Amino acid sequence: MAYQTLLQEYMLVPPVTRVYTTACVITTLAVQLDLVSPFNLYFNPIVILKNYQLWRLITTFLFFGNLGFNFFFNMIFTYRYCRMLEEGSFRGRTADFVVMFIFGGVLMILCAFFVNLLFLGQAFTIMIVYIWSRRNIYVRMNFFGLMNFQAPYLPWVLLGFSVLLGNAISVDLVGMAIGHIYFFIEDVLPRQRGGQKILITPMFLKKLFDPAPEEADYVTLPDFANVRPGGFNWQNENREVPENDEGNR
């Protein structure tokens, strides 16, 4: 029973959030169990281009370090805000959510060619948090019971927390910058005079992730317009009264 309940709860998680967080956990566990070396996962443009190790373009987003506080902290934020974003502003638009993933991932990889970034998972989490915070500007946040603030300040609070932990702020800044680029071209630019939507979701992604609902087979119901209630014979209401009946009357 416990297994079935856990499985049901797991399947209730939106598909993109479920697949991404599961891949992150499996990758980290594989490294922790020495099944995979992190040296085969990090972003290395020379190895990618010369040795065609293209999987690094994906695995660089899946590894958050060894099991510890930093891993659980990033996974909690990744799962929480990825799910809220998918169930909130992207509800019913899974294909658009996938496009956001692809857009952010491509820009981060381009940045990684010029900035020394080995793993991009944390930057990707900050991007998700940034987009959610800009689309929920009136939400009040509480950070570990220490401070209260509006949602748009959340990425900056996480940036300060990263500084306290001794992490490189360049990772968070890249995530915030790419999140702002997506927010601008998706939410701001189309609303400007003469603005237009730049990110167009391909039709094959819509068919794959957001298929049109099948048309229901409607059963033709009988025409009740001319059906009179039972009991009294309404059709013979004005019929002539038989002579016997007249005599009895």
Q: Which of 214, 204, 211 is nearest to 93 (CA)?
A: 211
Tokens of 135: 């689309």
Query: pLDDT per residue over 73-88, tens digit each?
Result: 889 989 999 999 999 8
| pLDDT tens-place values along the chain, 249 residues long | 667 788 888 888 899 999 999 999 999 999 999 899 889 999 988 999 899 899 999 999 999 888 888 888 889 989 999 999 999 889 889 999 999 999 999 999 999 888 888 899 989 999 999 999 999 999 898 877 778 888 999 999 888 888 887 777 888 999 999 999 999 999 888 888 877 888 888 898 888 887 876 654 555 555 544 555 555 454 554 555 455 544 444
pTM assigned to the model? 0.81
Tokens of 112: 């990684």
Query: pLDDT per residue over 33-46, tens digit each?
Result: 989 988 999 998 89
Q: Cα separation of 191 and 74, whole Å?
A: 33
